[in-house]
Amino acid sequence: MMGASARGGGPTLEGLLLGRHRAMDTLLTEAIESGRVGQVVEIAAGLSPRGLSYASTYAGRLTYVEADLPAMARQKRDALARLGTPLPAGHRVVDIDALATDGPLSLEALFAQLDPTVGTAVITEGLLNYLPADAVTGLWARIATGLRRFPAGVYLSDLHLAGENHSPLLSSFSTLLGVFVRGRIHFHFADAAAATEALRAAGFSAAALHRPDDARFGLSPELRAGARIVRVVEAVS
């Protein structure tokens, strides 16, 4: 499916994944370089190398916490241990349940472990479309509330909009992906305006939805069609 789409100038999974990842990295780097952010929490980090990369690049200047469900967090710690090199200062992997509203695995408990005097960013990549709408808005509310305890708070995420994901190819792909992950793929908001309104209702003071195919994010032309079907959220507390 992806090969046929690419030959016709259509979207590909590679374009989607690289587009969202590069856009989020660009926005995160800008927040760190500007001095607004000195702590990062990546929820559902999986086996992404982002945490290790940023902690190494900004060693001594950045705290990077990778958070995931206990089994996945254990797998990540084991993978990092197999590298055979010490982890950068400030980099750690912790257990979390992003849907928990209280208790030791909650986001609130994790925020309580961070330095309240340092600007903080929260990242969720590749998570929201596996959650129903009420779980997404509940998670957004907990993130917005938690970020208000810091002098600056930034939230970054990918988001698919229903109005931009209605082609037969994308419908087929989302159906097959749902079978693979044994769950439904959700498109929660009709357009950018509806998503922005939901983010503000969750407690963020401002929010924008970026297009990863924008030239500022440096994606190669052949990948931009895939990047057009996803948006990157940048919200501030």
pLDDT, averaged across the chain: 89
Q: Regarding predicted confidence, which is higher, 96 or 17?
A: 96
User: pTM of the full predicted structure?
Assistant: 0.90
Strand partners, 234: 156, 208
The H-or-E segment that residue 47 falls in is none
Conformational region of residue 124, where left means phi above 0, alpha means psi within -120 to 50, and beta covers everything else: beta
Separation CA 66–CA 226 (nearest Å): 27
Note the pLDDT of residue 172: 60
For residue range 217-226, what is the model confidence (pLDDT) as tens digits?
988 877 777 6
Residue 169 CA to residue 190 CA, distance in Å, equals: 18
Residue spans of beta strands (DSSP E) within the chain: 39-43, 63-68, 91-95, 120-124, 153-159, 206-210, 231-236
- Percent share of the chain, pLDDT over 90: 68
pLDDT of residue 168: 60
Which CATH number covers residue 39?
Answer: 3.40.50.150
The pLDDT value recorded for residue 128 is 92
Q: Tell me the residue type at 130.
A: Y
Q: Which residue has the higher pLDDT, 162 or 44?
A: 44
DSSP 86: P
Query: Partners of 215 in the beta sheet?
Result: none
At 149-204, the pLDDT tens digits run 999 999 999 998 887 666 565 666 555 555 555 556 678 899 999 999 999 999 99
Euclidean distance between CA atoms 147 and 153, whole angstroms? 5
Do 98 and 104 form a contact (C-beta atoms < 8 A)?
no
- pLDDT for res 222: 73
What does DSSP assign to residue 92?
A: E
Q: Domain limits at 198?
A: 2-236
Beta-carbon neighbour count of residue 58 at 10 Å? 20
Q: Which of 112, 117, 82 is nearest to 94 (CA)?
A: 112
Q: Higher pLDDT residue, 46 or 187?
A: 46
Q: Distance between CA 211 and CA 219 in Å, rounded?
A: 11
The total domain count for the chain is 1
Contact 44, 73 (CB under 8 A): no
Per the model's pLDDT, the better-predicted residue between 182 and 212 turns out to be 212
Residues 6+ apart with CB under 8 A from 148: 203, 237
Cβ distance 139 to 99 under 8 Å? yes
DSSP string, 98-124: TT-SSSTTSHHHHHTTS-TTS-EEEEE
